[in-house]
Amino acid sequence: RTQGAESGLVMQDMRVQGYLETSPYNTMLEPPYLFSIEGFVHLQDVIFEHIYLRTGTILQVVGLRRTANDSRIEQLGKTSIGFYRCIFDDITTNESVLISLNEKDLVGSTPSEINKISNVQNSEKTTKFVIEDTIFSDCATSLLLSNKNAKGGLLNLKNKKVRFEILNSEYRNIAVKSRNMLYLAWGVYEPDDKQINILTVTETFFTNCSSVIPEMDEKVEESQITQGQQSSPQTINQFINIQQSNELYTNGSIIFDDLYKYGLIFINNLNKEINDSINLATIDITSLFMSNCHSAIGSALTVTRLTLNLQESVFVEPMCYGNMLYLNQTQTTIKNCYFNGYNNTLSDITTGEVESISDAFCPNNPQYFSSIEYALVYITQGSYISNNDIYKDTRIGAIRIDNAEVELKNAQFNDPW
């Protein structure tokens, strides 16, 4: 554990390996964390593998401070903190985020506190955190729904000034029992009318990844759920009482939850919503490939109140019939992308029992919740420009528009329905 204004962690050419005689089922290890850093973290050519915990985080970073003019980083030939050519393989834990990255003044902050960030703070030179040439594989964890500070099972990022980049990396065979696999959130004031880039994703693959709560069901009956809506008193606190253990969601009980909180990759604006404005912070995603992934909605992305530029990306063969992109109050431009829905025969559910409808949507994983109400791409209270995109074999509809502006340019639709 490191602490102090100038503290940080630099690891190079190292291997962190668990005890090979244990398994995820018989391990007794439950440390709160393996590494806890207040400051910065820089990993280069580091392997974490075969680590099985009952509970606990692999890497917990608070601070994410800049390392400009830091000779320790200059010796590695890098100027940005992050993970370079690292491998995280065969890691399991429970009730814990595997990797947590938070700016110090946002840890445990409430939405009202986040909105007290001053323009002076925001105008400071930003930090950049880079994940480059890094592989995450065969990792699993779970999170309690009542945990307000941790939402992404694999990686949880919460900050106000850090620019985040994922470059030429791969995520494969990741199974998390939580709303999100990656939760990336920013609380940033808009000091002027200039757009600022907060997230860049390039040449990155996601295959066989899921973020699901087994036996979850939609909390309310309305098909339209947006973040701005308030739950009625009757629907508050309808969660099944889950006892804390290292085996969450195994008792078969139905858990009612809000769909808008789900998404394999959840990109969120933490600022308080003012006059329904769309934040000028931008997300640039290029050459993203996603296959055989699932979340209740947003089996690829859920984006809330930000600006998304997505191009030259491929989304194919999800685990279930359901939504791929859930765009909530988001200004979106998509160019040269390919969407291909679930490749199976959708049975006639109109005559089936209510209990079997979810099974029909996810025949290979009947315990997974999925909904066909939101099409492959769902847009609410925002704008959507699609240019030279292909929507193929959707079976549940390509695009659903709910109080949004949509412009389609040279889009192709190939649907057996």
Per-residue pLDDT tens over the stretch 223-238: 443 444 433 333 323 3
Residue 232, in any domain of the structure: no
Quote the pLDDT of residue 344: 66
Number of domains in the chain: 1
Residue 229, in any domain of the structure: no
Residue 126, in any domain of the structure: yes
- Judge whether residue 58 has pLDDT over 90: yes
- Judge whether residue 351 has pLDDT over 60: no
Contact (CB, 8 A) for 165 and 114: no
User: For 118-149, what is each residue's pLDDT tens digit?
Assistant: 333 443 455 789 999 999 999 999 998 888 87
The tokens for 274 are 């003012």
CA–CA separation, 255 and 225 (whole Å): 17
Residue 66, in any domain of the structure: yes
Residue 234, in any domain of the structure: no
Residue-averaged pLDDT of the chain: 81
* Burial (CB count <10 Å: 0-12, 13-18, 19+), residue 368: buried
Residue 1, in any domain of the structure: no
Quote the pLDDT of residue 358: 53
- The residue-averaged pLDDT of 380-408 equals 93
Contact (CB, 8 A) for 298 and 262: yes
- Judge whether residue 243 has pLDDT over 60: no
Quote the pLDDT of residue 5: 58
Please give the sequence-ordered ranges of beta strands (E in DSSP) within 272-361, or none if there are none: 281-291, 294-295, 301-304, 307-311, 314-316, 325-328, 331-335, 338-340
Domain span at residue 322? 8-221+240-346+357-414
Percent above pLDDT 90 for the chain? 49
Residue 2, in any domain of the structure: no
User: For 147-172, what is each residue's pLDDT tens digit?
Assistant: 887 889 999 998 887 889 999 999 99
CA–CA separation, 373 and 393 (whole Å): 16
Quote the pLDDT of residue 147: 80
Residue 265, in any domain of the structure: yes
Contact (CB, 8 A) for 222 and 380: no
